[in-house]
Structure 1
Amino acid sequence: MSTQGSSQPSPADAHARESVRARLFDQPRNDVRVGRFTLLDKAGEGGMGVVFAAYDPELDRRVAIKLLHSQDPAYVQRLLREAKAMARLSHPHVVTIYETGTAGDRVFLAMEFVRGSDLRRWLAGAPRSWRDALALLVQAARGLAAAHAAGLVHRDFKPENVLVTEAGVAKVADFGLARPIGDRTHDTLPGSRTDSELPAITRDGAIVGTPAYLAPELFEGSPADAKSDQFSFCVAAYEAVYGERPFAGDSLASLADNVARGRVRAAPEHTRVPARVRRLLVRGLASDPKARHASLAGLADRLDALVARRRRAASVAIVGSIAAASFAGVWQLRPVQCTGAADAWADAWRSSALPELRTSMAASGHPGAVVTADKVAALLDGYGAQWMASHVDACEAHRRGVQSADLLDRRMACLDARHHRVDTLVAALERADATMVERAIQTVSDLPSVADCDDAEVLARAHPLPDDPAARERVLDLEQRYGEADVLRDLGQLQAAKEAFATVRELADALEYRPIQAFARIRQLDLTNGTPALRDGLYEALHLAEAGGDEFAARYAWVELIRTHGYLGEFDAADRAARHAEAYVQRSGGSARELSIVADRIAMMNIDRGDRQTALREAQRALSLLESADPDSPALVPLLGHLGTAYTSLDENDLAAPVYERAYEHAVTTLGENHRDVAIALFNLGRVTARQEQYDASNDYYRRALAIMHAVGGDEELTSIFILNNLGQNYGHQGHYPEAIASVLEAISLQERRSGPRHRVLVRPRRGLAEIYLDAGDHERALAESRLALDISVESFGDDHHESAACRRRVGQVLVALHRAAEAVPLLERALKDETAQKAPGRQQGLTRYWLAVALHG
């Protein structure tokens, strides 16, 4: 390349001409010098310059000379200043710059000469494990972090810019794009080649670097910094360990879109790269720089520790069924020390990670994040202690010869599944949003029991793994994917979970693996909507489970069918589902926790049915069972709430109040003060005190509940809607009609935005609004609201449901006030008939009898 406007050829051109002359005339090549350095051979060329191998006669060493592409005098001076800054950086994992200077109008860098290859060629040169690849990348990360500490960023980190010495040492090279951190100076290269010749640089000159490795903020023209280098590093590291880049894209536009939206590819099927490695890399690939790791140095530390732990664990611990089988013959020859459980567990969770967990969860903005993080950590520590004890026991039992190889295989597969679920859970919590924080404690509390991994009978009932090793790996991978999707669901990431379960179901269908087919089908359903489609979907999953002999999935389907049939008013079918569910639980050993779930479902179904005595009995049984199994479980909070509801349905308000108080205290203790379950407990206290006509106290409970819902971002959620409605009813009872009407109408408006104007949830607010209008003297509006409530109730619950009976009573009451008693009588008679048949509480029947008497004598 000649220098425009100069009579002298550039050193690069002179070297090229001299090489051609020497070959043509078979003569020795004359030396071409750059400063004191003698150019030997051209080693390569990049977007920023040409690299030569060269000789330094003063120090008698081989060096690399890089001649930078630029002729603009101002730009030359800037490059020279930056090169001198880089020359002050000395680190074993950065290519050292010995000297900087100019040759004519070109800046040159005299650098350390590295014998070896670049990272891309090193990876392709031989099979590399993920550990080997990651260990080398950690070295490169150390070098980049040193540059960051010196106030420099690389801006074009990629595999080609990581040199690997013959001794296997990584050195980051080509800081030719380096700038001080935050430098916003325009990046177009004066005198650079045309757009079509620069695939690594965007055409408008606003972005410099290789697009596949560029952070999204650089596509938008933001200045490069340490966080953008971290992103580039994670792209390269992901590519090194998985064999493919994290973002798809067959054009710059599609690549930029995937990067900006954070669409990281799914991990390749059958990968052996641990979930924790992926989690760390994906965090560094976040589209929002603030969501990435605090520093590249910190990321390097975590990756380095993980590689080291994995190597230690692999050498001393059983880490799965395949390892157990392969070591079986060795154990017969020499004793095995059953160590390594702690190292293996630390891959998923370690107590020292609490500060990081606090920081990550606090970033969600949830007011209870730090308290939640502490409680989650304590629960994980306890779970980990159980896991490690079980891991050691499985190993010791096999070593002593008191456990078959098959049982060891099943125990280790069980433990691995729980380990992976915790690994996935911790990964999710490191990027938690407010919803995930809200559900974190319950999710950890609901982790699958480690005790099941010690129970030979439970393990024997599990669906057997295939004998073929390849098929077994596919099934284990499928189960891990299912566990990952289940964690997303438990943490409230419903859309992501739905998509993940769809993938799991497709893979399970392809493998014809029925246990996962059944569970994935259940998990794809919205278990809260109570529709015929949900009922039919549950029976489809039940068929898959029973055909495949999977008792666990079948039991789960029957339990959910209790609630679904009850919601649909199909109470005989709900009773049948309850009998099946109880039978499955008893057959599997009768876990108190599982029996409590069945009892709770039966209790709530009987509340809907109107069989309040049965509801009370089952609610008491559910609470007693769970208390005996886990007295500290946060799951006691809703069970206490359901017991209180059973009492209030019987007008036993004095018995309900202390139960609700206990629910509130337990919620605060187990979940922290800023939690939706605490708000629900306060809401229930508001309900029962209102029923006791203590309206000021009730209003206080409701306002406290609303404040919590607001703090956790739940202003438009169903709980807030219920609170607003009940607060409005209280205002009405106190004669504050404008405030009452405004509060109830706000509740109705919020619910209509959620589900439309005729959802079943609107029955009670509409009926209550009718009463407020009636008390305020607006009889026509009262009649319109009460009739609308009745219409929605009949559509939603059925003509003879107790909610419809209450609505008929309200219509009759309004008609009596309008002096239309003749129209009121048949409505009130029908209401009393249905309430009597359903054994409604005496207070409700008494109200109906009163208004019927008034109508008959009006």
Structure 2
Amino acid sequence: MARRGTTLGRYLVLGELGSGAMGRVLKAYDETLDRTVALKLLHREAAEQNAERLRREAQALAKLSHPNVVQVYEVRCDRRQWFIAMELVGGQTLREWQEHDRRWRECVAVYLQVGAGLAAAHAVGLVHRDFKPDNCIIDEDGRARILDFGLVGGQPLHGADDEDDPRWSLPKGDLTLTAPGVVMGTPAYMPLEQMDGRGVDARGDQFSFCVSLYEALFGKRPFEGRTFEALRESVFLEMIAAAPKGTRVPARLRGILLRGLSADPEHRWPSMPDLIARLRTFVAPRARRRLVIGLAGGLAVAGVGLARYAEVGFRCEGARERLDGVWDEERRAEVRAAIVGTGLIHAPDVWERVVGPGLDSYASAWVEQHTDACEAARVRQEQSTEVMDLRMGCLHHAKVALDAAVEVLGGADADVVTNAHELVGSLPDLGQCADVETLLDDVAPPRSEDAGAIEDARGALASARAEREAGRYELARARLEEGARVLAAVEYDPVRAELALEEGWLSSVVGDYGASQVSARRALALASRHRQPRRMQEAAHALMFVIGCEEYRAEQALAYREVVEELARSEPLLEIGAASTIACVLHTQGKLDEAIDYHRLAIEEAESIGMRGGPRVATLYNNLGATLLMRGRLDEAEHAHRTALELVRRSLGPHHPHIARSLNNVANVEIAQHRLEEAELDLRQSLAIRLRAFGPEHPDVGESREALGVALWAQERYTEAEVEHRRSLEILEAAFGPYHPHVAGSHNNLANALYGQRRLLESEAEHRKALEIRVRVLEPEHPDIAVSMSNIATAMGTQGRLAEAEAMHRQGIELFERVMGPDHPHLSIMRGALADVLRAKGELPAED
């Protein structure tokens, strides 16, 4: 037995570092090379029976030099004692490291290091066979290394034909300890084939790696079992533990690990490099996500490839020319002329601040991505040509969308100019075209004979989106119908899902919420059938928005909350949209504090990815302000709305109609603060902006007159308020017809102005018109119906019709509480009105 002061080969033993099932680890001094090393002494009997394999391993290990593998210097035998001499590294084990509170991206980043080490070992024909967190070490610089390659090899140390059945040679106690005897490895991290004593290859290491990373991310291993038999059954049946509730780990990341945890090696990832390439997308910057193939071997290949192409002068050029006719100098001039030529006061700012620089920037990013996709495959050889084709296909779809947007902008009218920022901002995220993991997991392309029809359908779909974002809804509907006709002749569900989702959003913006839900549910079903997680998230998000924010059915809407949040993780734009919509639904439910938290989360996410200004962030601040106002936190609400106002001014210019919207919001806060004169000034400025932009008959002008009327009503200037409300009602009826929610709101506000003048019968009649419209066009359980009931009851009570008033009040309160919940702040107003009636009837004591 080697003791302190004795020698093994040229190594002087300094002491023992530890021991395990496979042998002991000593600290030793290499007298020849003047360095301290670790010596792993293998149990003599096992080593002697496998001497030839150990010699082969020594040759393979000598070829392995990788920054994430502890360097093995030699494998030799001295006086019948086999040992491995290796690099001595100080630090903590990976298990010790991950037992501290670590963010999920930190865990993925560290495991990418050791994954690269495993891939390098596989490249020289080595299999670890006992990978686990205890067999990795992290030094003080954060560099992770794999150690303990004492189990490496393609076959077990004793063959599967040995007398003892390997399935029963494992320990009955702690399943996280390395098992001595026939089957080598640690049961809790073993793949099924290793448990059964069958041959193990690199895919077995992949399984152990996925178990380890799953444990690091979720705090528990994926398979449960107190005994070896129970554990084996869990692995065999793929009974994987559910992710903890509330985890921030993306569902797609868990899905990647689940494939690596398959019981059948054929169902796992083809290799460690394939697995690592997908994991790398979660920690690399989105715009630079690439599939790095080969890792240790691939780096060398990339170097050779670069030298070869440099020698022949290969260049990836011509990307800019591919945008000729889409966004070039000629089309740029056409769009500028179309926008400025509308004569709208805000048109020059829209061109100079939004469209010109926005499309120039998008086109430049497209060219950069196109060039990078080419160079990654053909120059740097970091990606396969298959991946390049996927990226180019994605960029082609983005070009189609850009072309559609330019086409709409080239025919600009008032709606297009006013909504141009929405159109430019809705262009496809080019980062998706560098997200290799998502591209690889996307659905298969259509049959070649259907490709032309699918391309036509995608073009119609892109045009429909552009028209919708520009506010031209009839043209959008026509483009969607065109796309549906084309698709009728082919079978390709992925595009049908996109078409259905766009139909859902279009129906939503025109107020057809029933049709919107039918389309969104169809999109969700198609996306689920073909396992398209992004499309599933978008469809579920649409459903949650329409049901919760438009129809005020918060409980039903929140049924989609988990899938919307889960599938949005690691996708910042989806996360922002999810947080904003959840906040909206919680607002309608009366859970205002929780809604405020989600509004702030959406803003933080947006600013964290560089969206620090612009109309989209302004919208987030406006949403926050509305909820703060409802909560009664007036100073904070004013700050949020003034922030939004400043963002809109800075990004869209001083004359843009969206400034009027922000001024209206600021005025709402000022009314709540009883700063009525200031509110009136802001609202008159809002009205002036919209009159200059649109003329006197535009529905946005009607909205401004509506808001001004409310401010006048708050000042008890009821006659002036009546004038504004009647003008607003005329404009809105002409724009939307007599049966529309906006028209109902105008009747409601006119009724309030008449009530202030004590024209009680006229007031009641207007409230009844509002109720009639709401019952006709809204869901039966809509809270606005309850509000109309309460208003009618108040008018009847003032007329002395107390019994009728009490019955109507109770009906309205019951409906509102059923829809919005018992804690909604508006209920206190409704109950107060009922109490007034009961006091008038003598059923409650008079207030002091």
Q: TM tier, shorter chain?
A: 0.5 to 0.7
Post-superposition shift, 1:456? 0.6
Give the 3 Å change call, closer, same or farther, for CA 777–551 of structure 1 in structure 2: same
Post-superposition shift, 1:697? 1.4
> 1:611 is aligned with what amino acid?
K
Q: Is the 8 A contact 1:445 1:633 kept in 2?
A: no
The answer for the alignment partner of 1:401 in structure 2 is 381
RMSD: 3.1
Post-superposition shift, 1:777? 2.2
Post-superposition shift, 1:354? 5.4
The answer for the alignment partner of 1:25 in structure 2 is none
Post-superposition shift, 1:474? 4.8
1:465 aligns with 2:457: no
In the alignment, structure 2 segments of 5+ residues that lack a partner are 1-305
1:550 aligns with 2:532: yes
The answer for the alignment partner of 1:505 in structure 2 is 484
Q: Tell me which of 499, 520, 530 is aligned to 1:538.
A: 520
Q: Tell me which of 302, 325, 340 is aligned to 1:362.
A: 340
Q: Is the 8 A contact 1:702 1:727 kept in 2?
A: yes
Equivalent-residue separation in structure 2 for 1:772 and 1:735 (angstroms): 9
Q: Which has the higher contact order (CA 8 A, sep 6+)?
A: 2
Structure-to-structure mapping, 1:404-415, within 5 angstroms: 404-415=384-395
Higher deviation after alignment, 387-396 or 809-818: 809-818
SS of the aligned residue for 1:837 comes to: coil
The answer for the alignment partner of 2:567 in structure 1 is 584
Equivalent-residue separation in structure 2 for 1:621 and 1:766 (angstroms): 37
1:451 aligns with 2:431: yes
Equivalent-residue separation in structure 2 for 1:825 and 1:420 (angstroms): 60
Post-superposition shift, 1:351? 6.6
Equivalent-residue separation in structure 2 for 1:534 and 1:485 (angstroms): 15
Give the 3 Å change call, closer, same or farther, for CA 660–847 of structure 1 in structure 2: farther
SS of the aligned residue for 1:712 comes to: helix
Equivalent-residue separation in structure 2 for 1:331 and 1:496 (angstroms): 49
Equivalent-residue separation in structure 1 for 2:782 and 2:396 (angstroms): 49
Equivalent-residue separation in structure 1 for 2:681 and 2:472 (angstroms): 33
Higher deviation after alignment, 599-608 or 364-373: 599-608
Equivalent-residue separation in structure 2 for 1:855 and 1:623 (angstroms): 48
Post-superposition shift, 1:403? 0.9
What are the superposed Cα offsets for residues 110-131 of structure 1, whole Å, 9 maximum, x if unpaired? xxxxxxxxxxxxxxxxxxxxxx
Q: Is the 8 A contact 2:790 2:830 kept in 1?
A: no
The answer for the alignment partner of 1:765 in structure 2 is 746
Q: Is the 8 A contact 1:358 1:369 kept in 2?
A: no
The answer for the alignment partner of 1:322 in structure 2 is none
> 1:660 is aligned with what amino acid?
H
1:613 aligns with 2:598: no
Structure 1 length-normalised TM: 0.57
The answer for the alignment partner of 2:142 in structure 1 is none
The answer for the alignment partner of 1:626 in structure 2 is 606
Post-superposition shift, 1:347? 4.7
The answer for the alignment partner of 2:475 in structure 1 is 496
> 1:559 is aligned with what amino acid?
H
The answer for the alignment partner of 2:416 in structure 1 is 436
Post-superposition shift, 1:358? 2.9
> 1:576 is aligned with what amino acid?
A
Q: Tell me which of 673, 681, 684 is aligned to 2:654.
A: 673
The answer for the alignment partner of 1:710 in structure 2 is 691
Post-superposition shift, 1:847? 4.6
Post-superposition shift, 1:852? 4.3
Q: Is the 8 A contact 1:610 1:839 kept in 2?
A: yes
Give the 3 Å change call, closer, same or farther, for CA 489–794 of structure 1 in structure 2: closer
Q: Is the 8 A contact 1:509 1:517 kept in 2?
A: no
Equivalent-residue separation in structure 2 for 1:856 and 1:444 (angstroms): 60
The answer for the alignment partner of 1:696 in structure 2 is 677
Q: Is the 8 A contact 2:719 2:753 kept in 1?
A: no
The answer for the alignment partner of 1:384 in structure 2 is 363
Post-superposition shift, 1:676? 3.0
1:815 aligns with 2:796: yes
The answer for the alignment partner of 1:291 in structure 2 is none
Post-superposition shift, 1:381? 2.5
SS of the aligned residue for 1:448 comes to: coil
Q: Tell me which of 471, 485, 493 is aligned to 2:464.
A: 485
Equivalent-residue separation in structure 2 for 1:752 and 1:609 (angstroms): 30
Equivalent-residue separation in structure 1 for 2:717 and 2:796 (angstroms): 23
Structure-to-structure mapping, 1:83-232, within 5 angstroms: none
Give the 3 Å change call, closer, same or farther, for CA 843–627 of structure 1 in structure 2: farther
Q: How many residues align?
A: 527
Give the 3 Å change call, closer, same or farther, for CA 756–847 of structure 1 in structure 2: farther
The answer for the alignment partner of 2:619 in structure 1 is 638
Equivalent-residue separation in structure 2 for 1:414 and 1:467 (angstroms): 17
Higher deviation after alignment, 800-809 or 686-695: 800-809
Q: Is the 8 A contact 1:538 1:561 kept in 2?
A: yes
Q: Is the 8 A contact 1:603 1:616 kept in 2?
A: yes
What are the superposed Cα offsets for residues 527-560 of structure 1, whole Å, 9 maximum, x if unpaired? 2214322212222232233333333333222111
Q: Is the 8 A contact 2:719 2:757 kept in 1?
A: no
> 2:538 is aligned with what amino acid?
Y
Percent sequence identity is 23
Q: Tell me which of 720, 723, 728 is aligned to 1:742.
A: 723
Equivalent-residue separation in structure 1 for 2:567 and 2:615 (angstroms): 25
Structure 2 length-normalised TM: 0.57
Equivalent-residue separation in structure 2 for 1:830 and 1:499 (angstroms): 43
Q: Is the 8 A contact 1:505 1:521 kept in 2?
A: no
Post-superposition shift, 1:406? 0.6
Equivalent-residue separation in structure 2 for 1:336 and 1:694 (angstroms): 69
Q: Is the 8 A contact 1:824 1:855 kept in 2?
A: no
Give the 3 Å change call, closer, same or farther, for CA 800–844 of structure 1 in structure 2: farther
The answer for the alignment partner of 2:207 in structure 1 is none
Q: Is the 8 A contact 1:721 1:750 kept in 2?
A: yes
Post-superposition shift, 1:701? 1.6
